[in-house]
Structure 1
Amino acid sequence: MLDTQLNSQTFKLEWIQAIRRTLWIFIKSYYEHRNVDQSDDFFLMEQKINSRVDVFLDEYFISYSKYKDSLLKQQKELVDKLSVPIIPINESISILPIIGSVDSYRAEIIEERVLSEVGISRIETLIMDLSGMANMESNVVIEIMKIIDSISLMGCKTVITGIRKEIVQDIAKSGITFDQAKTLATLKQALHEYIIQ
């Protein structure tokens, strides 16, 4: 994607430079055609100035493009991180509230972040709250099952809470069951069972 944008910027620069060169060639031809006594030094100076301006424009626009792309990448990484908030409750228990729609791309981000956080923080129990989830397609159910299976291999138990009726229907249609995870009705119930007691 970055290469495509840089190629597009380079093409635009070349187009601007070609128009400018054509304009100067036209002016020179005009002077020659009208037999106007114009020093060649003027046009030689134009070539030197324009070539330096071209170098400046190339460097400026390419640098600006790279800077803009790096800002966009940083903002995207921040949004991705904020879209997967893993909240530590104590040393061994954390909550992952999943809010909004989950597509394959977001499921990959969730998987990467969860695996990383379980490994770094040594989470023993991850409470995955789905009460704020908009919908769950069958391929996303498979991705969540992969996450649960992966973290169970790392010694982390998963507790799923807040599964709404619509999501239960989607899961039932897919024929997938959460064998590796415990399910509870609400996050409050999970907190009472795992924290208060």
Structure 2
Amino acid sequence: MLDVSKKIDPMLDELNHIFVEIYEEHNTDTIKRAYAALEELSVPIVPLSEGIAVMPIVGQIDTHRSQLIMETALEKSAQLQLSYLIFDISGVLIVDTMVADNIFQIVKALQLIGTKTMITGIRPEIAQTVVDLGVDFGTIKTKATLEKGLEEIGFSKLLENPQRKKDKWRY
């Protein structure tokens, strides 16, 4: 029995090791795909009409996410041939020097490829922080709300049926 056990145990150990490696590789691949999907969802671009899109930003912006925002904005703007891209930052709670500078850099990069940009949803506390930091947003168009930004570029609200009070955007 001992002789048989000495031969079988190493084989079972090797078999167990192979199963663990396969499981770990599969699990790592699944996690990578899930993280990539999460990143894509964290920086969506919503096309509104031909040449116009909105990028709603929600949550905290760190260095990695700001780089992702830059890459996505440039790639999708070129791919969709956007004339206008509106950054709606109403879901961003904190803007520090790095975030403000990154937003400025993204806007400059988009201008280089011919996409006009506008920032909407700047909260009063964020406006105060940006001013306190001394960041000059003078060359960037801003509007208080996404609705005001859309009106600025030519969207108008129409009532289909006044009794139903459903709003539709028209460009």
**TM-score w.r.t. length of structure 1:** 0.74
Partner of 1:124: 83
Partner of 2:70: 111
Higher helix share: 1
Partner of 1:149: 108
Give the distance between the partners of 2:136 and 2:26, measured in 1 at CA.
Answer: 46
Q: What whole-Å deviation, never above 9, does each CA across 1:37-76 have from its counterpart, x for those lacking one?
A: xxxxx33322221121122111111111111111111111
Q: Secondary structure of 1:57's match?
A: helix
Partner of 1:71: 30
Q: What whole-Å deviation, never above 9, does each CA across 1:75-109 have from its counterpart, x for those lacking one?
A: 11111111112100111010011112222222122
1:81 aligned to 2:40?
yes
Change (3 A) 1:180 1:73: farther
Pairwise CA RMSD of aligned residues? Answer: 1.5
The amino acid across from 1:163 in the alignment is I
Q: Secondary structure of 1:71's match?
A: helix
The amino acid across from 1:75 in the alignment is A
Q: Give the 4+ runs in structure 1 shifted more than 3 A.
A: none
Which of 1, 4, 18 lines up with 1:59 in the alignment? 18
Give the distance between the partners of 1:189 and 1:175, measured in 2 at CA.
Answer: 25
Identity of aligned residues (%): 32
Partner of 1:14: none
Q: Secondary structure of 1:97's match?
A: strand
The amino acid across from 1:77 in the alignment is A
**Any gaps of 5 or more consecutive residues in structure 1?**
1-41
Residues paired across the two proteins, number? 156
1:129 shift after superposition? 1.0
Give the distance between the partners of 1:119 and 1:131, measured in 2 at CA.
Answer: 25
Give the distance between the partners of 2:72 and 2:63, measured in 1 at CA.
Answer: 14
1:168 aligned to 2:127?
yes
**TM-score w.r.t. length of structure 2:** 0.84
1:114 shift after superposition? 1.3
1:154 shift after superposition? 0.9
Partner of 2:136: 177
1:100 aligned to 2:65?
no
1:179 shift after superposition? 4.3
1:180 shift after superposition? 4.3
Q: What whole-Å deviation, never above 9, does each CA across 1:98-146 have from its counterpart, x for those lacking one?
A: 1122222221221221122112111111011112211111111111111
The amino acid across from 1:92 in the alignment is G
Higher strand share: 2
Q: Secondary structure of 2:58's match?
A: coil
The amino acid across from 2:20 in the alignment is F
Give the distance between the partners of 2:9 and 2:139, measured in 1 at CA.
Answer: 68
Q: What whole-Å deviation, never above 9, does each CA across 1:156-195 have from its counterpart, x for those lacking one?
A: 1111111111111111122111244211222111112222
Contact 1:99–1:133, Cα closer than 8 Å, also in 2: yes
Q: Secondary structure of 1:118's match?
A: helix
